[in-house]
Amino acid sequence: MINQVKIKPLKIFPDDRGFFTEVFKEAADDFKIPIKQTSYTETYPGVIKAFHWHKIQWDLWFVIKGMAQVVLYDMREDSPTHKETQVICAGEQNRVLIIIPPFVAHGYRVLGNEKVCLLYHTTECYDPQNPDEERIEWNDQEINFDWATKNR
């Protein structure tokens, strides 16, 4: 696991009407992160959205619908997990909140035949005049991640 990345399994409270879950609750979670913006995106099957990273911003990702192969890559030179990759399958079959620190590149691939619906909270508001977002190609040679499904 990449240093400072947190994976919070979410508790599901089902009843005869459906279910309820708390995604983030500052008072109950062991991390204190000030949420300044919440965004939502939908991504179609077969799409890879990767990679990007932030200098200041933390991201909190929750895949609401579908399944995503989330890939993280630690770019922090002073980190004990520098240049390590972490993969998390997140979504309807694995309801988790993924907390991503600055200088950890992140992206995802949609798994299966349903679109991915991703809700994410950030510690900074997006500023189009001065975005805290850097891009890396999905097939970057340094990260060298193989996005192909491995048949086992």
- CATH code of the domain covering residue 66: 2.60.120.10
- Indicate whether 35 belongs to any domain: no
What does the pLDDT read at residue 114? 97
- Indicate whether 28 belongs to any domain: no
Instruction: Tell me what percent of the residues of the chain surpass a pLDDT of 90.
Output: 89
Structural domain tally of the chain?
A: 1
- Indicate whether 123 belongs to any domain: yes
Q: How far apart are the first and last CA of the chain?
A: 23
The whole model's pTM is what? 0.92
Q: Which residue type sits at 94?
A: N
Q: Average pLDDT, whole number, for the chain?
A: 94
What does the pLDDT read at residue 27? 62
- Indicate whether 117 belongs to any domain: yes
- Indicate whether 120 belongs to any domain: yes
b/e 79-105 (16+ beta carbons within 10 angstroms → b):
bebeeeebebebbeeebbbbbbbbbbb
DSSP per-residue string spanning 13-53: EEETTEEE-----TTTSSS-----EEEEEEE-TT-EEEEEE
- Domain of residue 58, residue span: 6-13+40-131
- C-alpha torsion sign, points 117, 144, 137, 122: positive
Contact indicator for 108, 60 with CB cutoff of 8 Å: no
- Digits of tens for pLDDT over the chain (152 positions)? 999 999 999 999 999 999 998 888 876 666 778 899 999 999 999 999 999 999 999 999 999 999 999 999 999 999 999 999 999 999 999 999 999 999 999 999 999 999 999 999 999 999 999 999 999 999 999 999 999 998 88
Q: How many CA atoms lie within 13 A of 140 on its CB side?
A: 20
What does the pLDDT read at residue 150? 86
